[in-house]
C-alpha cells in the first residue's frame, strides 16, 4: 500500500485529536482569565463560572483528550509507523499521567472556596506544563510526517 493511500486515514485520526486541542485551548484561556480574576481578588469569572467548575471541566477534558491520544488509533499508529519514536511516546504518556494527577489535586483544592485565593499559581503551572507538552507532541508529529512529505514530493 502506498503512502498516498495510507495518509488520509492517518491524517484523519490526527485531525480529530487536533480538534480536541482547540477545545482545550478555549478552556485554558478561560483558566488564564480565572487566574487573573483570582489574582485581582475576584472569586469567579464575569459569567459566574466558579474555579471549582472550571477546574473540573479542565480535568474532564484532559482525561478525555489524553485517553484519545494514548489509544491505538493515535499513539499506537505513530509507534507502528515509526517505532523509533516509542521513547518519546512513553515520555508523553508519563507526562499525561502527571498532568492528570495535578488536575485532580487542583480540582480537589478548587472545591474549597477558602483555597481560591491560592489557586492561580498552581493553575498557571499546569497550563505552562500542558503548553510545553503540546510543543513536544507537535515535534513528535513533525518527525513522523516530514519523511512522508519528503517521500511523496
pLDDT for position 143: 86
User: pLDDT digits over 93-118, tens only?
Assistant: 999 999 999 999 999 999 999 999 89
CATH hierarchy code of domain 3-152: 1.20.120
Q: What is the DSSP string of 125-138?
A: HHHHHHHHHHHHHH
User: pLDDT digits over 32-83, tens only?
Assistant: 999 998 899 887 666 778 899 999 999 999 999 999 889 888 888 889 989 9
pLDDT for position 2: 38
Q: Which of 2-6, 46-50, 88-92 has the least mean pLDDT?
A: 2-6
Question: Can you list the alpha helix ranges (DSSP code H) found in 3-119?
Answer: 3-39, 51-70, 75-81, 86-110
pLDDT for position 64: 92
Q: Is the pLDDT of residue 127 over 50?
A: yes
Ordered by start, the domain boundaries in the chain are 3-152
Quick one: what percent of the chain has pLDDT higher than 90? 53
**Whole-angstrom distance, CA of residue 37 vs CA of residue 33:** 6
pTM over 0.85: no
Contacts of 130 by beta carbon, 8 Å cutoff, 6+ apart: 24, 28, 62, 99
Amino acid at each position: 500500500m502506498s503512502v498516498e493511500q495510507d495518509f488520509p486515514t492517518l491524517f484523519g485520526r490526527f485531525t480529530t485529536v487536533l480538534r480536541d486541542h482547540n477545545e482545550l485551548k478555549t478552556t485554558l484561556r478561560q483558566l488564564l482569565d480565572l487566574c487573573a480574576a483570582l489574582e485581582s481578588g475576584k472569586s469567579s469569572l464575569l459569567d459566574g463560572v466558579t474555579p471549582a467548575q472550571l477546574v473540573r471541566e479542565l480535568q474532564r477534558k484532559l482525561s478525555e483528550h489524553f485517553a484519545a491520544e494514548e489509544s491505538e488509533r493515535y499513539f499506537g499508529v505513530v509507534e507502528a509507523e515509526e517505532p523509533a519514536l516509542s521513547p518519546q511516546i512513553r515520555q508523553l504518556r508519563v507526562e499525561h499521567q502527571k498532568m492528570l494527577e495535578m488536575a485532580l489535586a487542583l480540582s480537589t483544592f478548587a472545591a474549597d472556596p477558602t483555597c481560591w485565593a491560592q489557586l492561580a499559581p498552581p493553575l498557571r503551572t499546569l497550563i505552562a506544563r500542558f503548553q510545553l507538552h503540546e510543543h513536544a507532541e507537535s515535534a513528535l508529529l513533525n518527525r513522523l510526517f516530514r519523511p512522508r512529505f519528503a517521500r511523496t514530493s
